[in-house]
Amino acid sequence: MRVLGIETSCDETGVALYDSEQGLLGHTLYSQVKLHADYGGVVPELASRDHVRKLLPLVREVMAQSNTRAEDIDGVAYTAGPGLIGALMVGACAGRAIAYGWDVPAIGVHHMEGHLLAPMLEDNPPEFPFVALLVSGGHTQLVDVQGLGQYELLGESLDDAAGEAFDKAAKMLDLDYPGGPRLAALAEKGDPLRFTFPRPMTDRPGLDFSFSGLKTFTLTTVKKHALEDGLPDEQTCADIAAAFQEAVVDTLVIKCRRALKQAKRKTLVIAGGVSANILLRQRLEARLAEDGCSVYYPRQEFCTDNGAMIAYAGCLRLQAGQRADLEIEVRPRWPLTELTGALGSR
């Protein structure tokens, strides 16, 4: 089965083609980072309009890239949620229209399920069951994954997600958008031992997260060492970034080890934008090896939003016989635990 995948949940337009026998045939991604940089964050209306401008040219690009014709396509998958409603509608309407015009089935894909399954695109994919750590700009969740659509939420952030905490800490240090990767880069120049930041909710049982207190601690530290321009000196900023990153990574690692023990699993999958963080990968590999566990993650280009993960997840669900109804439905808020079947499937 050959599936066209469309991702437009936020500020990146992703298109890909996945073949169940040949694997990933082609993918392309357009990022709106420059468009939103002046605003310090994503402007939903601008994001939607840019998806409208870029989506169909990207579809044509991927089709040409993979030497695929319309009659070669067996299905279309699009992100149906969660995400920005306007952005989701662009992808859903386009995906449904393409499927209708080509007379093939369509399927609405859960964005976080796409992330969760992204490591399956690698040459050495994990096998079910496993525990997944989903860490992106809007989500921090630990999920016990028994199989496709069989998800049990073990813990989640009670306030800011890890990605949001990274972005907000970056703003405190006057770093440009997107803040998370820039903070991680600055942290490489810092001394992580100069400041001791808290590891929130690790001193009590449970698998939930909370990063709001860490965010407040960071702001207090910045203000305490600020100079006349409102910021600490360059080295102190780097030291704060390093200490902040260490605190987030340690917190995630502690909870992951706890989750694997609770679920009695030996495999961890990490996915989402924050899974690209080098320190997080290194720390998880080292700590889980001590426990006799293994960790899997997607390649860097598939950590952020992309069409490949949507094409793959959509292919699995289309192969299972699920189809979207003609009525177009998107869900800006869509808990992963509600995902027993595909959106609008029968």
Residues whose CB is less than 8 angstroms from the CB of residue 67 and which lie 6 or more positions away in sequence, other chains included: none
Per the annotation, does 86 bind a ligand?
A: no
Mean pLDDT of 148-175: 95
Count of CB atoms situated within 10 Å of the CB of 264 = 9
Q: What is the pLDDT of residues 110-144, one digit of tens each?
A: 999 999 999 999 999 999 999 999 998 788 999 99
Q: What is the CATH code for 127-297?
A: 3.30.420.40
Per the annotation, does 284 bind a ligand?
A: no
Domain boundaries, the chain: 2-118+302-338, 127-297
Per the annotation, does 134 bind a ligand?
A: yes
Residue 306 pLDDT more than 90?
yes
Q: Binning pLDDT at 50, 70 and 90, where does residue 341 land? A: low
Pairing outcome for strands 140-147 and 150-156:
antiparallel
Q: What is the pLDDT of residues 75-92, one digit of tens each?
A: 999 999 999 999 999 999
- pLDDT score, position 340: 66
Per the annotation, does 306 bind a ligand?
A: no
- How many Å apart are CA 6 and CA 230, to the nearest integer? 43
Mean pLDDT of the chain: 95
Per the annotation, does 90 bind a ligand?
A: no
Per the annotation, does 180 bind a ligand?
A: yes
Residue 346 pLDDT more than 50?
no
Per the annotation, does 115 bind a ligand?
A: yes
Mean pLDDT of 34-61: 96
- How many Å apart are CA 62 and CA 56, to the nearest integer? 10
Q: Binning pLDDT at 50, 70 and 90, where does residue 338 land? A: confident
- pLDDT score, position 136: 84
Residue 162 pLDDT more than 60?
yes
Highest mean pLDDT among 15-19, 174-178, 300-304: 15-19
Among 247, 242, 137, 231, which Cα is nearest to 188's?
242
pTM of the predicted model, to two decimals?
Answer: 0.94
- How many Å apart are CA 198 and CA 204, to the nearest integer? 13
Is there a shared CATH topology between the 2-118+302-338 domain and the 127-297 domain? yes
- How many Å apart are CA 47 and CA 337, to the nearest integer? 28
Instruction: Please give the structure tokens belonging to residue 66.
Output: 């993979």
Topology of domain 2-118+302-338 in CATH is Nucleotidyltransferase; domain 5 (3.30.420)
- How many Å apart are CA 311 and CA 5, to the nearest integer? 4
Q: What is the pLDDT of residues 316-329, one digit of tens each?
A: 999 999 999 888 99
Residues whose CB is less than 8 angstroms from the CB of residue 79 and which lie 6 or more positions away in sequence, other chains included: 6, 7, 8, 9, 88, 91, 92, 108, 109, 110, 111, 114, 310
Q: Tokens 């869900």 sit at which residue?
A: 331
Per the annotation, does 111 bind a ligand?
A: yes
